[in-house]
Amino acid sequence: MTETASGPTLAEIEAARDVVARVAQGTPMESSRYLQEVLGSPVLLKCENLQRTGSYKIRGAYYRLSRLTAEERARGVVAASAGNHAQGVAFAARELGIKATIFMPLGVALPKLQATRSYGADVQLRGHTVTEPLLAAAEFAAETGAVLIPPFDHIDVVTGQGTLGLEILDQVPDVATVVVPIGGGGLISGVASAVKQRAAAEGRSIRVIGVQAEHAAAYPPSLAAGTAVDITIEPTIADGIAVARPGLLNFELVREYVDEVVTVSEDDIARALLVLLERAKLVVEPAGAVSVAAILAGDVPALGPTVAILSGGNIDPLLMQRVISHGLAASDRYLTLKIMLPDRPGQLARISELLAEARANVNEVLHTRHGTGLQLTEVELDISVETRGPEHRQQVVDLLRGAGYDPQFG
């Protein structure tokens, strides 16, 4: 296998690498002993979260814009995005001296909005989902002649993203598996095209696994149907890969080159983000952490050195705060209990003594006589504590029960 009828050849991706290198930096490849213990074979993290503009998107955006004719550049470019694609296009346009108009949803995270504007783009806010900005961008292109820059479904975008695959092969020559986040499919179709064609030329095999958030997983049903299909997206913290339909070109390349597509839950993603913060000291957005979530969930085989791509690091601090809390709960490090107590002095103090004995730190307490179903002689205690994992969580519960209380999980 040396090329595909519709996608970029290895030679084309290699040629694009020199172009992309004008703006994209070579990002670090960090080993993870913790994830190696989880998987049972070496795990390395490809840190595109540390890329300029905070994600891999600059690769495809710059390569696409670099191939515009002088007449097309004079007309300007337009794009629609809730974040990373917007920043990639805005940065690339600035570097190439092209006017850029970017449509973003009204609720876009403030850091992403500010970054896009700081690169010189004219940002227009439309609607509350990405759908409205996409329609507005298409209308703007039709009215003004500006060139519409798609986020994933274009051969130049795929070729630019494929340069990341070449970088992985340079840094980890003996890589056995590459794990890639999937939204519309621009990143994985580019990376898979590069690594599969290079591996075939070398007479070896490399496994490519794609990962989607289960609340926005368009690829599994599309692959099952043999054609790209639409899905209804449910709310997900991985908004950066929440795409309702695969790109047409991307779907064909994924079907040809990708070995497997798996999905991960919201809890899996939150745990992964927490692991990356605590163990790797890396700030990664939820969409960029799904590759690690798949490893933690047991969806990746231990076939040799595994590279997990961290595709972006543009996370709103307010979202990070919520995701960390969710990740702590999903990792059994927050425990919320409801305890019915006799309405007499000393009961709250007794619960505090027991929790102190168990070395569980109290975060929040609600003590009320007005809960539904309470007897006149009862009070309800809702209490949240920090625990150190599943074993400690169970110790806390057992200690309370041993003292005659009946804690119920909140």
Q: What is the DSSP letter of 55?
A: B
Instruction: Give the per-residue SS3 of 269-330.
Output: HHHHHHHHHHHCCCCCCHHHHHHHHHHHCCCCCCCCCEEEEECECCCCHHHHHHHHHHHHHH
Give 21-66 pLDDT, tens digit per residue.
999 999 999 999 999 999 999 999 999 999 999 999 999 999 999 9
* Three-state secondary-structure class, residue 265: coil
pLDDT in the model for residue 1: 36
Q: How confident is the model at residue 3 (pLDDT cuts 50, 70, 90)?
A: very low
Which residue from 208, 282, 309, 290 is spatially nearest to 241, judged by alpha carbons?
290
Q: Mean pLDDT over residues 154-163, rounded? A: 98
Inter-residue contact 117 to 273 (CB < 8 Å): no
CA dist., res. 151 & res. 133, Å (int): 13
Residue 317 predicted with pLDDT over 90: no
Please give the pLDDT value at position 2: 39
- Please state, as a whole number, how many other Cβ atoms lie within 10 Å of the Cβ of residue 229: 16
Query: Does 322 have pLDDT greater than 90?
Result: no
Round the average pLDDT of the chain to a whole number and report it. 92
Fold matches, 10-56+154-328 and 59-148: yes
pTM of the model: 0.84
Q: Is the pLDDT of residue 153 over 70?
A: yes
pLDDT at 379: 86
- List pLDDT tens digits, range 338-384: 888 888 888 888 888 998 898 888 888 888 776 666 676 788 888 88
Residue ranges of domains in the chain: 10-56+154-328, 59-148, 332-409
Fold of 332-409: Alpha-Beta Plaits (3.30.70)
> 10-56+154-328: what fold?
Rossmann fold (3.40.50)
Protein fold of 59-148: Rossmann fold (3.40.50)
Of the chain, the percentage scoring pLDDT greater than 90 comes to 69
Residues annotated catalytic, as ranges: 57, 311
